[in-house]
Amino acid sequence: MGNPFQDQLLKAGLVNKKQAKKAKLEQHRNRKQNKEESTAEIRNKVREEQAAQAQRNRELNQLRAEENRQREQKAQVKQLIEDNRLDQDDRGERYNFVEQNQIKRIYVSEEMADQLSQGLLAIVKLGESYEVVPAKVARQVASRDKAAVIAFHEK
């Protein structure tokens, strides 16, 4: 069973069997070549999409890694402050300091107030409260989170 149009041309005598066979072969080659080209295009598209997806995955992994690093640093800062904070004296001397253009105060002993002004102690922020820590700890906190160190009079 051939092509009905081709059969009509053969019966009319407009083409011979050799020409019909050649045309059929040419059509077959064209279809096969188009199929190969389309599969090559599809493969290229798939490769491009995979590369784009891999790039997005890498960027997301970098973001997650950065978020994890920041979370770890905040946890380290919190741990440093909690482990090394000094007791404040509610009946002691009032020590004023500035945070974001606002004057804040804490109450510390007279000795601690002197050490704060000499740079031996520092005031750091832990959540919503302020804590007094030694200068060494303040430097460690500042290396992880500069915003956590509120008042530190380094020499």
Q: How many CB atoms lie within 10 A of CB 33?
A: 10
Beta bridge partners, 107, equal 94
Work out the pLDDT band at 14, boundaries 50, 70, 90.
Answer: low
What pLDDT sits at residue 91? 83
What residues form DSSP beta bridges with 134?
121
Residue 134 CB contacts under 8 Å (≥ 6 apart), including other chains: 84, 86, 120, 121, 122
Digit-coded pLDDT (tens) for 25-58: 888 888 877 777 777 788 888 899 999 999 999 9
Phi-psi domain of 101 (left: phi exceeds 0; alpha: psi -120 through 50; beta: other): left
Could you report the per-residue pLDDT of 89-126, keeping only the tens digit for each?
878 888 999 988 999 989 998 899 899 989 899 999 98
pTM of the shown model = 0.62
User: Residue 29 corresponds to which amino acid?
Assistant: R
> Side chain identity at 132, as an amino acid letter?
V
